[in-house]
């Protein structure tokens, strides 16, 4: 497995969140209400990132305490953070789609 720097590891989560936010933005533009105000989804990503880092860090610490290997803890921090951000993006995008279908 190729090494990844700590900076890249931390910056990948917001980049992925911004990608999900842009997908949400396009869904809202195409299927949302007429009075859609763009930009607040980016604010929501910025506000949820600290919680995702904390949850990923807790997961990494749990794996580190079990395995006693720093590389495994870092790997599971990355995996956990990306899974939590993907769940946030999933709820954001598909919640918007469900609301547009229902309404």
What is the pLDDT, as a whole number, of residue 77? 87
pLDDT value of position 1: 54
Q: How many angstroms separate the CA atoms of 103 and 5, rounded?
A: 45
User: Residue 64: CB partners within 8 Å, gap ≥ 6?
Assistant: 70, 72, 73, 76
For the chain, how far is it from start to end, CA to CA, in angstroms?
Answer: 47
pLDDT at 35 (0 to 100): 65
pTM greater than the 0.85 cutoff? no
Report the pLDDT value the prediction gives residue 36, as an integer from 0 to 100.
66
Per-10-residue mean pLDDT, the chain, length 103: 78 91 85 73 89 91 82 83 91 84 77
Per-residue pLDDT at 100:
79
What is the model's pLDDT at position 93?
85
Closest C-alpha to 30, from 103, 97, 78: 97
Distance CA 71, CA 34 (A): 49
């Amino acid at each position: 497995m190729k090494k990844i720097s700590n900076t890249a590891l931390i910056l990948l989560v917001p980049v992925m969140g911004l990608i999900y936010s842009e997908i949400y933005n396009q869904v809202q533009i195409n299927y949302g209400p007429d009075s859609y105000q763009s930009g607040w989804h980016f604010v929501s990503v910025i506000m949820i990132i600290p919680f995702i880092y904390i949850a990923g860090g807790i997961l990494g610490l749990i794996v580190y305490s079990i395995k006693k290997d720093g590389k495994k803890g870092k790997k599971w921090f990355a995996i956990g953070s990306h899974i939590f951000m993907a769940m946030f993006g999933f709820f954001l995008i598909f919640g918007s789609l469900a609301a547009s279908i229902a309404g």
